[in-house]
Structure 1
Amino acid sequence: MTALHPAAARYVSNRVPRVEDPRLLTGHGSFVDDVVRNGMLHVAFVRSPHARARITGIDAADARALDGVRAVFLAADLNPDVREQWYTLIGKDVPDTPRPPLAEGEVRFVGDPVAMVVATDRYVAEDAADLVAVDYDPLPPIADYLTALDTDELVHPDYPGNVAGELAGPPPEELAEVFDGAAHVESATIYQQSYAPVPMETRGLVAEWSAPDGELTLWASTQAPHEVRLFCSRLLGLPEHRVRVIVRDTGGGFGQKMMPLREDMCVMLAARKLPAPVKWIEDRRENLLSAGQSRHEHADVRMAFDDEGEILAAQVDYAQDVGAYPTPWPVQNAVAAGMLLPGPYRVGRATFACRSVFSNTSGRTAYRGPWQFESVAREVLLDRAARAMGIDPVELRRRTLLRADELPFVNPNGMPYSDVTPLETFEHALEILDYEDFRREQRRARAEGRYLGVGTCTYVEPTTTAMGPQATEGATIRVEPSGAVNVYLSGGSSGNSLETTAVQLTADALGADIADVHTIQGDTAVTPFGGGTGGSRSGSMIAGAVEATASQLRERIVAIAAHRMEAAAEDVVLDGSRAFVRGTSAGGLALSEIAETAYFGVESLPPGVPPGLEASARYRGESTIIWANATHVSVCEVDVATGAVRLLRHIVSEDCGPMINPDVVEGQIAGGTVQGIGGALYEHLAYDEEGTPVSTTFMDYLLPSSMEVPDIEYGHVETPGPGPGGYKGVGEGGAIGAPPAVINAVADALAPFGVEITTLPLTPAALVEAIERSEEDR
């Protein structure tokens, strides 16, 4: 390949304003609910009021008779039409769990869709849904997964013991000698509550069937348009080219919108049976009721230490609630929680067991860092161990955290770490805090009757992978005859600034002015296949796809420019949408002039250069896993009379490699951190003893606001990863690192009372009870 000499990067690594913002901040975004099609019909679902019951009869006559109702679909109308239903991300041969479009024979959670009503508007559809009479024979529900293993009742008859799946590492007996001989063993059973992603935009889908040409067009709120396309083609038995998925703006996904769920299946199946396009938009109560739960889990965890505080062994016996209809297959993330338990620490030996358990509640869905519990369990246990051994928890971590010069390092469960800086980010975050000064302030405050605390969490996060369906990403870049540059990517942007990322990378790769670069994303008819936004993969994968594609196009641009300017290709520099001969600053050729030659002056092209300026390429991840890491430090004050927690500072030192756009990186960290704070202190998708959800509105499901979250302070350690530009992922980390840091801060504040925290969330009532219980025990 000809040696090319781009000018110094003008846009990458700089705080370039987001190209999305002008339309989003002025209310000109286009979401699924903004889609209007001629004659469009609207959907409402009839949902079960019972956690578990037999369906003994359904009478939809009154609903069908209501003026404006066009159809009422039951399980018998839709379920038999399912051809195949499996997710590309997971694979065809995974032993997936049941997932019928509509409940058939038995409902398995409150909110289970039983019937689908289609009408001329949403109001009529909801009125008609109220007229559908369903006869239920209630059955004993399994409202709490903790009881699911000790009952004869089954959520699904084909899953004995209500176990959706389980996997384990080496037998615990192999570590018995290590634990028996350790100077100190710390153990605890740690419980995390159920909470939910709660995207700003709820789920939604518009489906339009064209009978004459057998094509289905979907406007979707999704993180992965090509996943939706492939899933739909399999579901309906349609060729892929007969399904088009369009994603415009998406108001958050966080894993919940990674894959089509059951209501999406219903809309897809019904579309071919209807005379007009059909729209379903989920309301907030439906979202909290049936879009999925996350995080509900617990584990028996223990660690063995020598007399210097080195970690000799770690063991976790982990169980997660997967509800009635988990999406996707839950066992993978359960295994990740076990295998990542050692985290970024020098751990001698380890093992794990993990179990996914059904219950009669909303199905488990992915949520930002779905293996997050490993950090909660590990970091909480490390603080407990430090207190028990009389060691400062910071000093204990300093003795055991991996340093950059110790890498590569394979953790005892076989996870190969490289290109991370655990100890370095840890020290950086503590430096921002001024840890010793805080401890002095804490002592003064305690003397005054005020209880301050500090907590930390250091973790490693797997991001881009070179394995499976997400191992590659494609891009097409076209320089139009006008000189405008369009980059086509799969996209699925859901608030994570993929448009800005693509424009920055492409502008620098081609030496174009950023104002001349545009991106087209989220339309499967024109974009190359991509794995979607999940697993912190987008930044590094887009960088790889843009580089692989732009390098081809750039060589062609340089060849044409060199030919026209009678210069050697190696002397051509592209900058500001112009080509110059090295050493000159005037004249040259505009990119539009080069494009004009490429398209319309083909007779004057240099030998071997094809006409046009368009290229497509695919990038494959260069490492089995690209790792990122960070340290969170949280500082709080606890009012011991009321149990109220006030966060005073929250610091994040992150190593996601060189930053494409620091504003975007910090925005991703902030969003995840706030979600993690919410999970530690406020959010709880709670159920009563009968399996009825009791927090299906924002009056009951508490989210943190700007009043509860302090300004987040950022530190950056930049260690290049193995991929193009050295970029790593950053999307998941805030939600992983914030909860343990907040938990440990609260526990540190309450250490004078002997309070140990093992159950979330840390509500004021729970903390007051813990303080009172500890005082009674002393």
Structure 2
Amino acid sequence: MLSGMALPVSAARYAGARVPRVEDLRLLTGRGTFVDDVVRPGMLHVHFVRSPMARARILSIDASEALALDGVHAVFTAEDLNPGVHEHWYSLIGQDVPDTPRPPLAQDEVRFVGDPVALVVAEDRYVAEDAAELVVVDLEPLAPVVDYATATATDERVHEAYPDNVVGELGGRPVEQIDEIFAAAPHVVRETIYQQAYSAVPLETRGLVAEYSGPTREMTIWASTQVPHEMRLFTSRLLGLPEHHVRVVMKDTGGGFGQKAMPQREDMCVMLAATKVPAALKWIEDRQENLMSAGQGRHEHGTARLAFDDDGRILAAAIDHVQDAGAYPVPWPVQTAMVVGLLFPGPYRVPDATFSCRSVFSNTTARTAYRGPWQFESLAREVLLDIAARQLDVDPIELRRKNLLRADEMPVANPCGMPYSDVTPLETFEHAIALLDYEAFRTEQEQARKSGRYLGVGTSSYIEPTTSGMGFLGTEGATIRVEPTGKVNVYVAGGSTGNSLETTVVQLTADALGVDIRDVGTIQGDTAVTPFGGGTGGSRSGSMIAGAVARTAEGLRERIATIAAHQLEANVDDIELAGGRAGVRGAPDTAVTLAEIATIAYFDTNKLPPGVPPGLEASGRYRGQAPMIWANATHVCTCEVDVVTGAVTLLRYIVSEDCGPMINPNVVEGQIAGGTVQGIGGALYEHSAYDDAGNPIATTFLDYLLPTSTEVPTIEYGHVETPGPGEGGYKGVGEGGAIGAPPAVVNAVADALAPLGVRIARTPLSPASIVALIEEAGT
């Protein structure tokens, strides 16, 4: 029998190193496999007929002319598809949550411009698009609810079952219990801060291929998704199929950022329609559809308050937060709204706090998960802190220094009950400020103002929940197989969505087994062969997969060492694994290669020691640290504002991050950079805007502006490595950049314009809005 002892391997050679990404050769040479690269025999193509109105009653749908077009196979409406739904809840939320309506196709009423009304199936995409133009949808216009901020004050209803247009509300302790603190405080700072809607805009839009076999009742789906196993579960529930009759294959995915974290209504339609046609169905969303109907994030506002004593120390914090849920939010938005309130105290020493959070329907596209969906807590708090510094006439850096939590105070619970641990808010902040050389910048700023130039600096500090140890996302599995040749394959749920899980897995496995990284491969994203996993989201993947690999490798190392000890006539405790060999410690010439051990395990099984089974394969499962692993960071931005044109030029951008020991600094910095650029876009450029009639007015890249390499400065990185409580001390890093960037940029612009009396409380900071603020301050 195997004893379960810990066996030594060589010191880590790959974890912590800047190992080149193993997937880059494939992706950079155009050899990746995305959903649109998948071709099936006789495959048919899907295009949606979408509503041109924000809200209207569906009187009739006439598809006769479309069906008469050569190459059209079918046109499905709600009457055809919606009755096929068995269940459609998400594992992340659970079936007992009071979820919102989510019909596959619009039925009786359309609720936003882009709402899918019918699905056309044709021999190719071009015919399907032409046929969609021939479908006649008779609509009776209804007054839309466009502005979520006034949605509770109108008699119009997005959904009849919600008479006040409120999805749900949650809150902390009664606000009256801390109002006394605000009433008695020497200083109270208050502001209502608004953030616009903007979108994930993945490089690859949404898409899937669904192939159904009627005789066997089996469904195979190739999907652009962050969650192959959740898509499998969702498909099983939706269609009433046994889970083992559903296979989801996720190859390369060109970005997700939360938009692909859960199947949406179009995915449901394609799954349902696939059961009604004789061949596979492919749907690939175009860019206009993506910007119009794939979902939005961020759209929200909050009235935030901070109370201070005469020394500038925070006495209490409160936020009254309202978010736009759109017409069909994915998933239930109230839960993430609550996180805004729970995290509003942030990484600061706040004695008392409370919050209220409300999610409101509107006749606009759905609210979907978007990189750090609770990010508004940081925007509201950090912008308010800079406003407070100017109001109290203190330096914003000194104000933060007085209030930031220190590493030696951990663990500590914030006043809303969040149990922080293993974080370094003040230390990371000081590191970022030192990288800037803050005093030198203030000197430069003063000199620039004398010559009529307006420079500014802004900071943003946050604490981020990562790697939950609870519920659907609380475990992750792995299978490691040493093949008969001695090469290694690692199977994880994973998925290549730009977060380099392929590289992460081979690095960790090579270290765990003491083999060359070139001898390790990984298979990910295929539910037929990979163990169940929660997918990418919540900054969980790196640390959870590290745990899964570690748990799985333990048993496999022991088996390898036991076989080697038997062959070498040595004590198993003296065996160490290094360089693809199992050798006796202190006797470097006494060793067997992993290939030789594999030959015994698979072919010469009579040479195996007693109690050791044939083969070299192990599966394991890791349970994350409950309830949460925390990361933290500080962003520092400097900029120059042209007060005539309103143009903002970013000068320097610094991120000091504590995500624990880094598995691969290249990957960590890539994740920080990607999120930071998205946050810069949200602060300055991106806006999913609607007119008063509910028409989206930014559905192409002519109108929806994205930052490019010419607008984004070189990002400078600082790392504070404090181990977390999980495997290897690793923490999450995927969402942080998008959380920290918007308030840092806003604060930098506000600091630049402070001499003009400008007070910023609304994004995006377009040139026109900046000019308007300057003019308003001057009147």
CA–CA separation in structure 1 for the residues paired with 2:291 and 2:504: 32
Query: Is 1:208 aligned to residue 211 of structure 2?
Result: yes
Q: Which residue of 2 aligns with 1:57?
A: 60
The one-letter code matched in structure 2 to 1:243 is: V
Alignment of 1:243-282 (within 5 A): 243-282=246-285
Q: Deviations over 1:568-592 (max 9, x none)?
A: 1121111121112112333521111
CA-to-partner distance for each residue in 1:426-461, whole Å, 9 max, x for gaps?
Answer: 000000000000000000000111000000000000
Partner of 2:746: 743
1:405 to 399, 405, 408: 408
Q: Which moved more, 1:746-755 or 1:579-588?
A: 579-588
After TM superposition, the structure 1 = structure 2 runs for residues 421-436 of structure 1, keeping only pairs within 5 Å, are 421-436=424-439
Asked if 1:716 is matched to 2:719, the reply is yes
- Counterparts in 2 of 1:436-475, with a 5 A limit? 436-475=439-478
Name which of 92, 98, 101 aligns with 2:104: 101
Q: 1:144 offset after TM fit, Å?
A: 1.0
Q: Which residue of 2 aligns with 1:139?
A: 142
Contact 1:623/1:723, CA 8 A, preserved across alignment? no
Between the aligned partners of 1:301 and 1:86, the Cα distance in structure 2 is 34
Amino acid at match of 2:244: H
Of the three residues 231, 235, 240, the one matched with 1:232 is 235
Partner of 1:386 in structure 2? 389
Give the match for residue 73 of structure 2: 70
Distance apart, 1:492 and its partner CA: 2.5
Q: CA deviation at 1:493?
A: 2.4
Q: Which residue does the alignment assign to 1:29? A: 32
Paired residues for 1:567-578 under 5 Å: 567-578=570-581
Structure 1 residue 588 corresponds to structure 2 residue 591: yes
Structure 2 residue identity aligned to 1:247: M
- 1:666-685 matched pairs, under 5 angstroms: 666-685=669-688
Listed as ranges, the matches of 1:528-547 within 5 Å are 528-547=531-550
* Amino acid aligned to 2:459: T
SS of equivalent to 2:549: helix
Q: 2-side partners of 1:233 and 1:576: how far apart?
A: 44
Q: 2:334 & 2:563 partners in 1: Cα distance?
A: 54
Shift of 1:622: 2.3
Deviating more after overlay: 140-149 vs 536-545? 140-149
Distance 1:631 1:568 in 2: 51
Q: Which residue pairs with 2:13 in the alignment?
A: 10
Note the aligned Cα RMSD (angstroms): 0.6
SS of 1:624's equivalent in the other structure is: coil
- In the alignment, the residues of structure 1 paired with residue 369 and residue 495 of structure 2 have an alpha-carbon distance, to the nearest angstrom, of 16
8 Å Cα contact 2:14/2:511 also seen in 1: yes
2:477 counterpart SS class: strand
Distance in 1 (alpha carbons) for counterparts of 2:380 and 2:495? 32
Q: Displacement, 1:143?
A: 1.0
SS at match of 2:762: coil
| Stretch of structure 1 that moved more, 112-121 or 203-212 | 203-212
Question: Which residue does the alignment assign to 2:288?
Answer: 285
Matched residue, 1:755: 758
Correspondence 1:627 to 2:630: yes
Alignment of 1:333-344 (within 5 A): 333-344=336-347
Distance 1:301 1:247 in 2: 42
Moved over 4 A (4+): none
- 1:328 corresponds to 2:307: no
The 8 Å contact of residues 2 and 569 in structure 1, kept in 2 or not, is answered as no
Secondary structure of 2:587's aligned partner: coil
Which residue among 362, 371, 376 is the counterpart of 1:373?
376
Do residues 160 (structure 1) and 163 (structure 2) align? yes
Query: Which residue, out of 92, 97, 117, partners 1:89?
Result: 92
- TM-score, L = length of structure 1: 0.99
CA offset digits 1:716-755 (Å, max 9, x no partner): 0000000110000000000000000000000000000010
**SS in structure 2 of the partner of residue 465 of structure 1:** coil
Aligned to 1:419: 422
In 1, the alpha carbon distance for the partners of 2:5 and 2:304 equals: 57
Residue of structure 2 equivalent to 1:637:
640
Separation in 2, partners of 1:107, 1:444? 58
The letter of the residue matching 1:264 is D
SS of equivalent to 2:146: coil
| Aligned partner of residue 327 in structure 2, secondary structure | coil
For 1:317 and 1:88, the matched residues in 2 are separated by 29
The CA deviation at 1:609 is: 1.1
| Deviation (angstroms), 1:513 | 0.9
Note if contact 2:568-2:590 (Cα within 8 Å) is conserved in structure 1. no
State the percentage of identical aligned residues.
72
SS at match of 1:432: helix
1:266 deviation in Å? Answer: 0.3
Secondary structure (helix, strand or coil) at the match of 1:588 reads strand
Hey, what's the Cα distance between the residues in 1 that align with 2:391 and 2:29? 55
What is the TM-score when the length of structure 2 is the normalising length? 0.99
Name the stretch that deviates more: 585-594 or 565-574.
585-594
Q: Whole-Å Cα distance in 2 between the matches of residues 33 and 562 of structure 1?
A: 51
8 Å CA contact 1:183, 1:306 repeated in 2: yes
* SS of aligned partner of 2:649: strand
Q: Secondary structure at the match of 1:322?
A: strand
1:638-653 pair list within 5 angstroms: 638-653=641-656
Cα distance in structure 1, aligned partners of 2:362 and 2:8: 60
Q: CA deviation at 1:3?
A: 3.3
1: CA distance between counterparts of 2:357 and 2:391? 27
- Find the aligned partners of 2:71 and 2:587 in 1 and give their Cα distance: 71
Matched, 1:217 2:220: yes
Asked if the contact 1:182–1:305 (Cα under 8 Å) also holds between the matched residues in 2, the reply is yes
Structure 1 range deviating more: 380-389 or 599-608? 599-608
Query: What is residue 560 of structure 1 aligned with on the other side?
Result: 563
Alignment correspondent of 1:699: 702
For the 8 Å contact 2:581–2:594, the answer to whether it is kept is yes
SS in 2 for 1:586: strand
Partner of 1:355: 358
Q: 1:179-237, CA deviations, whole angstroms, 9 ceiling, x for partnerless residues?
A: 01111000000000000000000000000111222110000000000000000000000
Q: Deviations over 1:552-603 (max 9, x none)?
A: 0000001101111111112111112111211233352111110111111111
Q: Give the equivalent residue in structure 1 for 2:118.
A: 115
Tell me the residue number matched to 1:597.
600
3-state SS of paired residue (1:630): strand
Cα distance in 2 for partners of 1:8, 1:458 equals 35
CA deviation after TM superposition for structure 1 residue 77, in Å = 0.1
Which residue pairs with 1:663 in the alignment?
666
**Does the 8 Å CA contact 1:144/1:359 hold for their aligned counterparts?**
yes
Counterpart position of 1:126? 129
CA distance in 1, matches of 2:149, 2:627: 36
SS in 1 for 2:351: strand
- In the alignment, the residues of structure 2 paired with residue 684 and residue 413 of structure 1 have an alpha-carbon distance, to the nearest angstrom, of 32
Name the CA distance, whole Å, in 2 between partners of 1:280 and 1:587: 58
Alpha-carbon offset, residue 623 of structure 1: 3.2
CA distance in 2, matches of 1:216, 1:656: 40
Kept after mapping to 2: 8 A contact 1:317/1:353: yes
The answer to whether the Cα contact below 8 Å between 1:69 and 1:128 also exists between their aligned partners in 2 is yes
